Amino acid sequence: MIDNADVFESEELEDVYEIESNYASISSGEITNQNANSIQNAKDKVKSLTTDEFLIEAYTAATQLRNTLGDADALVSELSEIIRMNVLVVAATLKERPAELILASARALPDDARSLFLAETIEMLSLYKRSIESETINEAASNFH
Question: Number of folded domains in the chain?
Answer: 2
- CA-CA distance, 79 to 77, in Å (whole number)? 6
Same domain, 20 and 46: yes
The predicted pLDDT at position 31 comes to: 66
Does residue 56 sit in the same domain as residue 12?
yes
The pLDDT of residue 39 is 85
Lowest-confidence segment of 32-36, 93-97, 130-134 by average pLDDT: 32-36
pLDDT category of residue 68 using cuts at 50, 70 and 90: confident
Domain co-membership, 65 together with 106: no
How far, CA to CA in Å, does 55 sit from each of 11, 20, 79, 88, 144?
20, 25, 16, 8, 41
For residues 49-73, b (16+ Cβ closer than 10 Å) or e, as one string? bbeeeebbebbbbbbbbbbbbbbee
For residue 125, what are the domain limits?
99-144
- pLDDT per residue as tens digits for the range 11-60: 544 444 444 444 444 444 566 778 788 888 888 888 888 888 999 999 99
Range in 30-34, 43-47, 76-80, 125-129 the model is least confident about: 30-34
- Whether 73 and 90 map to the same domain: the answer is yes
Shared-domain flag, residues 108 and 85: no
pTM: 0.58
pLDDT at 2: 56
* Residues 83 and 105 occupy one common structural domain: no
